[in-house]
Structure 1
Amino acid sequence: MAKISVVLADDHALVRKGLKKLLEMESDIEVVGEASNGLEAVEEVRTKDPDVVLMDINMPKLNGIEATRLLKKEKCRAKVIILTIYDDREYLLELLRVGVSGYLLKDIEPHALLEAVRAVNRGETYIQPTLTRALVAEYKRLSQPLPRASRPLTAREKEVMACIAEGMSNIEISEKLGISEKTVKNHVSSILRKLNLMDRTQVAVYALKNNLV
């Protein structure tokens, strides 16, 4: 039976080494590539065509969310499992929308990590059990009625909001609209302030609910 091929994407060499050692102790799993940043991760997946990618969120050049979004846009068949730290739970719902197959905290037990790799390879979605409550809470938060704008949004702010709803990063927005990344950040801050929203995910939900995209 063919082994489950895996690409490891993490900017810490020690983490990759530990993961590789753990995975390759299993007779049915094989590490076929490694990446130290998001751009390398995308390239490794393109060239190695793995079954599964273990992807860290916080990486240079391209973070795990952006790298995953790009891979999904390219219709790559690899199943993506996000490996992250406790403080990144807020990204859970957003990542599920992007199309990740798994979401794990880095303190997960080794046997559970192996179970997750096998589960997503079978086509299942694997969310670490301790994160289920966080997922439900985030869903409820985003389902709440959103406040009305305290001041009208400018035409440019509406353009920026539409880009956010399409999942674009600040860099991608700056390139599309022909403005600096700093200006994009200023627009995002203004949008959050005017709409009394907390984060980009709520901005995207607002845009969708108000037919701005």
Structure 2
Amino acid sequence: MSKISVVLADDHVLVRKGLKKILEMESDIEVVGEASNGLEAVEEVRTKAPDVVLMDINMPKLNGVEATRVLKKESLKTKVIILTIYDDREYLLELLKTGISGYILKDIDPQALVEAVRAVSRGETYIQPTLTRALIAEYNRLSQPISRASRPLTAREKEVMAYIAEGMSNIEISEKLGISEKTVKNHVSSILRKLNLMDRTQVAVYALKNNLV
């Protein structure tokens, strides 16, 4: 029986070593590669073609969200489990839409971690039970009707909104438009205020619903 091959992507060496120790205590799991940033993670998955990649959400060069999008665009068969310190509700639904197979917190019980890896390798989706309530809350929030803008957006704000809908970070938007990151942040704040929205996820939903991208 072949082992479940896993790549670990986290910018903290101690975290990777801890995960590796836990997983390789199991006779049916083998860690075949490690990555310290998103770019390395993408390359490791391309070259090693593991069954599963444990992907930290906050990494340098390319974060876990962006790295996941790259892998999914390339239609690679590797299953992605997002690993994070926080219950990032803002990302959870968006990541599920991109096709991730799992979403777990770093304080997960070791046996539950093993269970998650085995589950996604079988083609199942594994969401840490403690995150289920957050997932439902986020779904309900995004299902609510979004109010129209109290004031019209400027042409620049519409550009920023379009890039947010594409999943770009403030730094990426600043490079794209040739403006400072602080200016981008100011535009984002103005967009949220004018549209009566709470966060970037709602901005993206608004843009898609109103055919602004």
TM-score by length of 2: 0.93
* CA apart distance, 1:149: 1.1
User: Residue 104 of structure 1: SS of its match in structure 2?
Assistant: strand
User: How far, CA to CA, are the matches of 2:89 and 2:106 in structure 1?
Assistant: 12
Q: Counterpart amino acid of 2:26?
A: E
Q: Which moved more, 1:21-30 or 1:158-167?
A: 158-167
Asked if structure 1 preserves the Cα contact closer than 8 Å seen for 2:7 and 2:50, the reply is: yes
> Counterpart in 2 of 1:93?
93
Runs of 4 or more consecutive aligned structure 1 residues displaced over 4 Å after TM superposition: none
Q: Does 1:203 align with 2:189?
A: no
The runs of 5 or more residues in structure 1 that have no matched partner are none
Note the alpha carbon deviations across 1:112-167, whole angstroms, 9 max, x for none: 11111111111111101111111010000011111221210112211221222222
User: How far, CA to CA, are the matches of 2:21 and 2:88 in structure 1?
Assistant: 25
The residue correspondences of 1:24-173 to structure 2 (distance < 5 A) are: 24-173=24-173
Asked if structure 2 preserves the Cα contact closer than 8 Å seen for 1:4 and 1:52, the reply is: yes
The runs of 5 or more residues in structure 2 that have no matched partner are none
User: Residue 86 of structure 1: SS of its match in structure 2?
Assistant: coil
User: How far, CA to CA, are the matches of 2:130 and 2:63 in structure 1?
Assistant: 24
Asked if structure 2 preserves the Cα contact closer than 8 Å seen for 1:66 and 1:169, the reply is: no
Q: Does 1:11 align with 2:17?
A: no
User: How far, CA to CA, are the matches of 2:194 and 2:133 in structure 1?
Assistant: 30
User: Residue 147 of structure 1: SS of its match in structure 2?
Assistant: coil
* CA apart distance, 1:189: 1.9
Asked if structure 1 preserves the Cα contact closer than 8 Å seen for 2:7 and 2:31, the reply is: yes
Note the alpha carbon deviations across 1:168-206, whole angstroms, 9 max, x for none: 233443444444444333322221121121111000111
TM-score by length of 1: 0.93
What's the C-alpha RMSD, in Å, of the aligned pairs?
1.6
User: How far, CA to CA, are the matches of 1:53 and 1:93 in structure 2?
Assistant: 19
User: How far, CA to CA, are the matches of 1:9 and 1:164 in structure 2?
Assistant: 25
**Alpha-carbon spacing, 1:103–1:46, altered in 2? closer, same or farther (3 Å):** same
User: How far, CA to CA, are the matches of 2:107 and 2:50 in structure 1?
Assistant: 24
Residue correspondences, number: 213
Asked if structure 1 preserves the Cα contact closer than 8 Å seen for 2:157 and 2:187, the reply is: yes
* CA apart distance, 1:41: 1.1
Q: Counterpart amino acid of 1:25?
A: M
**Identical counterparts, % of pairs:** 89
Q: Counterpart amino acid of 2:122?
A: R
